[in-house]
Amino acid sequence: MDLLGDPAGRAEDAPDAVRVDGRGLSRAELLARAAAVAAEIGGAEAVAVHATATVETVVAVVGGILAGVPVVPLPPDSGPAERDHILGDSKARLLMAARDAFDPAAGGPPLVPVDDLPSASSAPAPQPPPGAATALVLYTSGTTGAPKGVLISRAAIAAGLDALAEAWDWTAGDVLVHGLPLFHVHGLVLGVLGALRTGSPLVHTGRPRPAAYAAAAERHGGSLFFGVPTVWSRVCDDPASARALRGARLLVSGSAALPVPVFDRLAELTGHRPVERYGMTETLITVSARAGGDRRPGHVGTPLPGVRTRVVAEDGSPVPCDGETPGELQVRAPMLFSGYLGRPEATAAAYTPDGWFRTGDIAAIGPDGWHRIVGRASTDLIKSGGYRIGAGEVENALLAHPAVREAAVVGTPHADLGEQVTAYVVADGATGPELIDFVAERLSAHKRPRVVHLVGALPRNAMGKVVKTRLAEIPTETNSPEAASPETA
């Protein structure tokens, strides 16, 4: 399975097939350096990559693919406990990094200094051995326990990238621009392997700064831009940089829900209604808006080719596809993971008896197949007074207030209602009662927050997602009206 695509018709020596933080490699140079890595690591059970945003990370990952050795991206900012867990659990026998990028004193397997290896000759790049199935072992965030290794096969990556290329009209004529971390699906699978498979040059900006995106548009002809909601929010806060993206072909947002006000502002400044898509580590991308179709704020599109989805209630019964009723989203697709490394029980539990993957996400599907993600079942489905309330809907209502910059909504215990809607809000000058009334004017009364905590910032992870399990740790100023009766809840 050739994940890197067919180079026929491409200029192998064209400059900067991959450019990371100002350093470029032609495709031929990349393959030559990766072939040297493949020769060094061939036969290993698994290899880790100190996944900094550098050319060396790209070379190391491609080298693992050429060798047919599973690659384990190691977040460069991981603490000792997380690093030791990932290295030990994955049984990575070698650690690849630039010589000066990783301190051997930190411990772990022997270091392979990617930048010290001489490039291979012009001979054909090695082919993975027969039976090489797993390309990547990506670790979950560990919010419900120790991070689990997700086995991503070569076939799943190929199926996922080809489906996206079709959905987004993604070709070798594009120039992909992003500055996302290279240890997640978004930045690594889509943002590196996707570019290599389609043949589109990649410009990685090192970090996803608005000015860097604008510069890539102007200097390198960037046509396809990837970002998470935090990136696009910052682009909107920099109108000059946003307007520099008017010449792009497609802006793609993922890894978390894009707030509707950010969607609207981005469309206003850039002239592009962004494409949203949905996926997770275990599924890659399964649902997306299309380059040639509609883009709806607050929605992530329709299933990609080969993907089937359904939403079910807690008892497993079907949920009507009316665009309003939420249920757990379940998926069947060729781009699903092969299982959790060394955890057969967890793998089995992730599937229904009839073979559907349980995403753990709450969604509503409309009659036309458009999907709206409400949030995680564990944190974003609030059961209050007999009602099922999606946190995302309340968050979007809060974000529509001109003073609100960030909002996160969760359910908290309530003696009478079971759970109450509780909001954590970063706002300039607004009061809690004012925000509660603002939501009540736009949504059903039972969906309004009962309590609003005004905070200075929301806790986020490396991908910009709010970590709701840490909200209770934030110093707050609490505003709440007198509790309503159950009849008016």
Rounded to whole angstroms, the Cα distance separating 431 from 37 reads: 58
Burial class (CB in 10 A: 0-12, 13-18, 19+), 9: exposed
Parallel, antiparallel or unpaired: strands 94-97 and 111-113: parallel
3-state secondary structure of 89: helix
What pLDDT sits at residue 123? 56
Q: What element of type H or E holds 243?
A: helix 239-243
Rounded to whole angstroms, the Cα distance separating 392 from 385 reads: 18
3-state secondary structure of 184: coil
DSSP state of 328: E
Parallel, antiparallel or unpaired: strands 23-25 and 18-20: antiparallel
Exposed e or buried b per residue across 61-97, where buried means at least 16 C-beta atoms within 10 angstroms of its C-beta: bbbbbbbbbbbbbbbbebeeebbebbbebbbbbbbbb
What pLDDT sits at residue 481? 53
Rounded to whole angstroms, the Cα distance separating 352 from 345 reads: 13
Amino acid at 44: A
Parallel, antiparallel or unpaired: strands 418-427 and 451-454: parallel
The token pair that represents 318 in the structure block: 């079907």
pTM, rounded to two decimals: 0.81
Amino acid at 467: V
Rounded to whole angstroms, the Cα distance separating 211 from 244 reads: 9
What pLDDT sits at residue 482? 43
Amino acid at 357: F
Rounded to whole angstroms, the Cα distance separating 132 from 93 reads: 17
Rounded to whole angstroms, the Cα distance separating 82 from 469 reads: 18
* Beta bridge mates, 358: 330
**Tens digits of residue pLDDT in 469-487:** 889 888 777 665 543 333 3
Length of the chain counted residue by residue: 489
C-alpha pair distances (Å), 306 with each of 167, 370, 485: 12, 16, 48
Single out the residue of 215, 226, 156, 165 nearest to residue 191, CA to CA. 226
SS3 content of the chain, % helix, strand, coil (to 5): 30, 25, 45
The residue to which tokens 């389609």 are assigned: 198
Low-confidence residues of the chain: pLDDT under 50: 1, 8-9, 11, 482-489
- Cβ neighbors of 311 (< 8 A, separation 6 or more) are 318, 319, 321, 325, 326, 327, 328, 329, 330, 363, 364, 365
DSSP state of 301: B
CB 289 within 8 A of CB 282: no
- Cβ neighbors of 429 (< 8 A, separation 6 or more) are 403
CB 390 within 8 A of CB 375: yes
DSSP state of 245: G
The residue to which tokens 């910052």 are assigned: 234
DSSP state of 244: G
3-state secondary structure of 349: helix
The domains of the chain, with CATH numbers, are: 18-365 (3.40.50.12780), 385-488 (3.30.300.30)
